[in-house]
Chain A
């Protein structure tokens, strides 16, 4: 509680402090801080470690072997010179072959290896390894590999099937297609090719069932719309065929199948 006495005393103290302060200003009573250099050693050591980590003077930079392989494939794709391209692909193949043997449980490694086989246009091996990537890797929440693997699988499948379909080897194409099926992940492209095979075999009902199912997943695939039109035409349903031909030509006016069928339908 402040009272008269305390007030007086505090004033007196203030005066004293003032006097001391004035004296101090003349005599500089604050002692200089003498610090041994040893006191700075922990800070210096910490800063030294920090600088090494921050500036990475040893240029430490390394990759996992499977990504080294992926980088080589990527480089090979950007090289025009065939010899150089083959050398890069050869190196990538060596690394990835070893990695797939060493780590057969990694979906991502199978995906990269399948990518390598696609670059070599070895479609059978590409299909096999993309299937493995989907089998092992489907269903993750982050860093999903299965969608990219399916994309690569379908690319390989298309390249494998097209010559078979064009040369009329429909049974062989059906076997390839059956093999490429992935129970772990729905692949609408399988329906597309199955529909084409059925259509070529003259089984228009089964073809339509497959092609229309594919259309749900890919409504803007002009080739598929043209194939649907062909199947309707096989069933002699000219009006439906014309509808799908028109849709296909709207999406791709240069589509060969659609144009051919369109001219046929108009001439009838």
Chain B
């Protein structure tokens, strides 16, 4: 293969540079607390950074003390419509940088997300801690928190791309998709969830292609990545089971698939028996619900829909047809509480690029068997089904037909598994150009993303 300059440097380094450059731009250019739920994730990160690991209960309220200025400033940035008359002035941000919060001037914040564990926030917590050392200004601390989330994301995905022998371009395109990088440049547990899912996929592809046996060290790292992923965000339980497509001989122990399955199930249940059990031990009553205008109850929803199973299936399919495009846009690029999307043509092109790349980014050394493809497809269907059914039963009002609150970003962790269905399907002899194409696509789309965010959220000054 001819060595062009882009082939001389491993692609993961290009990933790191592009991710760092545009990620840091997003850290600062994304207006404060504008990523979905970022305000509440920031409150949680702040709590953990300040040692509030145990929520307190006061008069049917559950939470902890929070500096008044942190809350007031974060709330001041909520509900902005970002039309022509209501944008954020960059000068206002400059002025706010002078605000210093006092940790003794607090109020009791009734936290609707008091029960979320700290694992998913670890990089953000470190950022808050260091940001406070620099200056106790809510926006500056938030920038530090965002930046550390980004660093953790880039580092984990860097290793994911590094260890996988093929599919590097696909992983890079998924990880640098505008929405993926936007999420990772925000204060949210999605950062670690997405990054560790990509790492899990990378491990599985590596094991699939390698000739040597899988080492215990690698299995341990895989388990740690999975543990971080399940603690960060539930709902992606089927992806790690892709490990079952790896031939048993590659593991140095007997009954490997049975043992691995038991191990995976045990890890998936870790949050239930640790953090959730810890939270349940307090027997809290009351608290502030996140949303109360409808009744949300998985058991009641299930009971309601089980009365009409064909109707439920028809509703689910109709939802995919009706909301599918929005979910796809949300998965590639839809930003902030104002749901500002990338133009349709851009999203469409990116999806086509992903499918194309997924079909040709391989070295032709391995051909998946039908059983391997079958398991992989089954896990994809189960993952998509679990997410959609989960949305339908948990965050959709009881008795509603239309899935409520489903966002495309929920599908980001499933994206590598979806693209894996196309793995090794089309042979190609132009592999040397793939890194260049990947790099150019990433730069072009992220440049456009930064431009759109700057244009939509800020006034000219």
The chain A residues found within 8 Å of chain B, CB to CB, are 30, 33, 35, 39-43, 46-47, 50, 52-54, 56, 58, 60-64, 102-103, 105-108, 111, 136-145
Contact = CB atoms under 8 A, between A and B. Distances in A.
B292 A102 contact: no
B321 A137 contact: no
B444 interface: no
A59 to B, nearest CB: 9
Nearest to B40: A141
A40 B355 CA distance: 11
B425 interface: yes
B318 A60 contact: yes
A140 B292 contact: yes
B320 A107 contact: no
Nearest to A149: B293
Contact of A106 (B112, B295, B359, B402): B295
Contact of A139 (B292, B294, B328): B292
A64 to B, nearest CB: 5
Contact of B293 (A52, A61, A107): A107
A102 B308 CA distance: 15
Contacts of A46: 355, 421-422
A54 B325 contact: yes
Contacts of A141: 40, 112, 288-291
B160 interface: no
A35 B421 CA distance: 19
A33 B288 CA distance: 63
A138 B288 CA distance: 10
Interface stretch (B244-252, B256-264, B392-400): B392-400
B428 interface: yes
A145 B397 CA distance: 14
Contacts of B324: 53-54, 56
A61 B321 CA distance: 9
Contacts of B429: 30, 33
A145 B293 contact: yes
Interface string B273-294: 0000000000000001111111
Contacts of A143: 291, 293
Classify chain B: how many residues form its interface, as a range. Answer: 35 or more
Interface string B303-321: 0000000000000001011
A105 B295 contact: yes
A45 B385 CA distance: 19
Interface string B392-435: 00000111111000000000000000000110011111000000
A12 B352 CA distance: 46
A264 to B, nearest CB: 45
Given A42-B421, A60-B318, A62-B402, A50 B291 contact: no
12 contacts: A35-B427, A42-B425, A43-B359, A53-B321, A54-B325, A106-B294, A107-B292, A108-B294, A139-B292, A140-B291, A140-B293, A141-B289
Nearest to B351: A50
Contacts of A41: 425
B342 to A, nearest CB: 14
A33 B294 CA distance: 58
Nearest to A108: B293
Contacts of B100: none
A50 B428 CA distance: 23
Nearest to A110: B293
A39 B425 contact: yes
Given A33-B427, A35-B427, A141-B288, A53 B328 contact: yes
Q: Which 3 A-B pairs have the closest CB atoms?
A: A140-B292, A53-B324, A145-B293
Contact of A58 (B321, B352, B399, B402): B321
Nearest to A31: B429
B359 A42 contact: yes
A142 B398 CA distance: 17
A68 to B, nearest CB: 11
B224 interface: no
Contacts of B401: 62, 64
Given A39-B425, A46-B421, A64-B397, 17 more contacts: A35-B427, A39-B427, A42-B359, A43-B355, A43-B425, A50-B328, A54-B324, A60-B318, A105-B295, A106-B293, A106-B295, A106-B397, A139-B288, A139-B289, A143-B291, A145-B292, A145-B293
Contacts of A50: 328, 351, 355
A54 B293 contact: no
A42 to B, nearest CB: 5
Contacts of A63: 402
Nearest to B111: A141
B322 interface: yes
A105 B325 CA distance: 32
A42 B358 CA distance: 11
B152 to A, nearest CB: 27
Contact of B322 (A33, A56, A138): A56
A159 B189 CA distance: 49
Contact of A64 (B293, B356, B402): B402
Contacts of B426: 35, 39-40, 43
Contacts of B351: 50
B348 interface: yes
